[in-house]
Amino acid sequence: MTRRPVLPGASELFRRTDAPSVPEVTELPSLSTTTSSPALRGSSAARRSEESAEQQPPLTLVPGGAADQVPSFRPLPQQPTMQPVVPTRGRPARRPDRTKHDEKITVYISADELLALETARLALRGQHGVAADRGRIVREAIAVVLADLGERGEESVLVRRLRGE
């Protein structure tokens, strides 16, 4: 006896994708062919129906037949489509008033500026109950400074700080 395992061949592992996997049905089976099958035959009632099936025409499905009048064959009414639930990993779901930002810039800041930004974030959360990340704080600060520049022009905080005043 060899210790070499018997592995399946490529034809057993892979199937062809260029040929249809389901053979096309070209003919509906008649009742006589299904009852003449040994697998489908089993009782004396089936044998009696086999004899009467030879006298009856084969069964075929046609549109508008009796099957269309049975409630179980009617199409189901359209139900509203449910939206998938997106997992949030324990965080609350994104609020609808938040906007998605498509553009990105990279800003280098000193360690002291980063410490001041993080201290401001913790103060907003601890003392004011406002939970905001550093990016949101920076975006709000930019919006405030740009609004001040638009309103006051030469007298704005941004112009004075950039001039070194």
Question: For 56, left (φ over 0), alpha (ψ -120 to 50), or beta?
Answer: beta
Quote the pLDDT of residue 4: 83
Cα separation, 71 vs 75, whole angstroms: 9
Task: List, in order, residues 6 or more apart from 149 with CB less than 8 Å away.
Answer: 156, 158, 159
d(CA 76, CA 73): 9
Whether pTM > 0.85 for this model: the answer is no
CA 101 – CA 91 distance, rounded (Å): 19
The CA distance from 130 to 120, in Å, is 11
Q: What is the DSSP letter of 96?
A: T
DSSP state of 105: -
Question: Per residue of the chain (165 residues), what is the pLDDT tens digit?
Answer: 678 888 887 777 777 777 665 555 555 555 555 555 555 555 555 555 555 555 666 666 655 555 445 555 555 666 666 666 666 666 666 666 777 888 999 999 999 999 999 999 999 999 999 999 999 999 999 999 999 999 999 999 999 999 998
Total residues found in the chain within this entry: 165
